[in-house]
Chain A
Amino acid sequence: MTLVRWIGGRVAGAAGVWLTISLLAFSLSTLAPGDPAHLLLMRRTGDAPSEAEVQALRHRLGLDQPFATRYGQWLSRSVRGDFGTSYRTGQPVLAELAARFPATLALALSALMIGLLVALPLALAAAAHPHGTVDRGVRLLSVLGISLPGYWLAYVLMFVFALLLGALPVSGGASLRHLVLPALTLGLGSAARLTRILRASLLEETGAEYARTARAKGLSAWRVLSSHALRNAANPLVTISALRFGHLLGEAVIVETVFAWPGIGRWMVESILDRDYPAIQGFVLYIATIFVIVNVGVDLAYRWLDPRMRLGGASAA
């Protein structure tokens, strides 16, 4: 398979995923209780609108059109970068999201870094002596880490660093000092999940034929683990990191709210509490777009990292 055809296939697949999510995002509007035109008029004037006013607005917004027509129009506007207007702020949804995304990106990436920095040594230490004392300790820690609710960990960290030590600010801002606690909260939770997966994939590798051969040739178990197994486990690590990044965007919603971090997660919660439907739809579409791009990027990275993929196509996953 040539590279161009492969990339073409991936992009077509990504477009399919994006379209599916866009249909779901648009269908959300049919789930909303009440008539959107009625709601919008209520918002503007503060009291119940007349039936004629509602009908007029329904017609003007195209709400009296069939579902497929409305979806088509919404989709074509979205593709051209018009995600609608926020009920709450009156600003274009896309501009609102784009202004806040860098803060969330910074938070998610620093959390991912912290997660990997903690998880790699722990997983290596655990995999060095499977079922030994260290391994048992690491596993217990990681189960605990997985079970901690992020919002609660946030308060524990706040208590230790801000109240007891008085070292770090607890909320707001977009400075590096403000980033520490939310990033640590998300990072430690991620570390636990990454450790579990990484340990498992390292053990899978050390049990493989090539690892046995290397040990039979006289290489130390540690050497086999740290240079051979780790290198082969790098592949799943890329996928896992990308997946983790996605989950981090989800978890960021809660952590951003606790620390008043000015990202898209907090904006989403505010939009939800204010029933700002265009904002909710736009948010889903925005995240789906980012995800589809990240996934294609990960596939490309995979292909570059793993020569088997270049020869065997998708079967070597």
Chain B
Amino acid sequence: MTPRRGPRRATTLAGMAIVGALALSALLAPWLAPGDPGLIDPAGAFAGSSAAHWLGTDNLGRDVLGRLLLGGRWSLGIAAIATALVMTIGVSVGLVAGYAGGLVDDVLMRLVDALLSVPTLLLALAIVGTLGPGIASLTIGLAGIWWVNTARVVRGMVCSLRERGHVQAARALGASDARIMRRHILPGILPMLAVLSALEMGELILAISGLSFLGLGAQPPAAEWGAMLNDARTYFFVEPRLVLYPGLAVTGAVAGFTLLGDGLRDALDRQHDAMPGRTR
């Protein structure tokens, strides 16, 4: 590997700054928003930027900035829940497969291989479609498929950790499986889980807004970014900026999490490369 230097730390910081700013604005949305973002004012529809409405108003005269801020709650909130589910399922399956080995491992990994061989988004779409549109089925559909990647990565790490000296020693000393997992395996994979969570979060924000855009996720009047875009596309030829803003919000959020994940991974790689006895 080529040595990595300065700029990577800058990316991590940029990612952290974006993610932090978004999280903060989503949390504080009700206080940051100028006025009530849900307030419908047909007389003031399609207004341009002004002191009262920094980003103008939409087709129903609602404040666009306020809805974008509120949308962060929806988009990031759903993505955070989905990511938590994905990591929980993925880590559990990966731990069990990697630690148990044998038949359990075979069966679980066959399932993972099968799921990975078909485009993830299409399978999620099929589940969401069968359950019916809505935020709950969107979250279940995505989490029900998205965990496979995490499971495979975690299994790989557990397999190699299992053979390490300190784990073998703990086993020789009579430590129980549960204790070995908790004390010796989980700490070893935690840094990688942080990387995976950040990257999955980015992917899930994209998927969630995409499915909401198709009308399968958050339903109006929820200000979820994808749903906002779906609302706005009817007026695209009249008011293209209504399509512009939610798209920029999604792009910024995904870029933030991707930069953060990339930066953390590089930091992790550097640490590994610096470990004694490691040849690459």
Contact = CB atoms under 8 A, between A and B. Distances in A.
A130 B250 contact: no
B122 A250 contact: yes
Interface residues of B, number: 52
A32 B127 CA distance: 9
Nearest to B213: A151
A253 B125 contact: yes
Given A155-B240, A250-B121, A143 B255 contact: yes
A149 B118 contact: no
A143 B258 contact: yes
A154 to B, nearest CB: 10
A251 B206 CA distance: 11
Contact of A31 (B123, B130, B233, B253): B130
Given A136-B7, A147-B202, A287 B117 contact: no
Contacts of A238: none
Contacts of A33: 131-132
Contact of A247 (B119, B215, B254): B119
Nearest to A295: B117
Secondary structure at the A interface, as helix, strand, loop or mixed, is: helix
B262 interface: yes
B243 A152 contact: yes
A229 to B, nearest CB: 12
Interface size class of A (residues with CB under 8 A): 35 or more
Interface in A175-207: 203-204, 206-207
Nearest to B124: A250
A31 B131 contact: yes
Nearest to B215: A273
3 cross-chain pairs, A with B, having the tightest CB-CB distances, nearest first? A272-B129, A152-B247, A250-B121
Interface of A: 16-17, 20-21, 24-25, 28-29, 31-33, 130-131, 136, 143-144, 146-152, 155-156, 158-159, 163, 203-204, 206-207, 246-247, 249-251, 253-254, 257-258, 268-269, 271-273, 275, 277, 280-281, 283-284, 287-288, 291-292, 295
Interface of B: 1-2, 4-5, 7, 110-111, 113-115, 117-123, 125-133, 202, 206, 209-210, 213-216, 226, 229, 233, 236-237, 240, 243, 246-247, 250-255, 258-259, 262
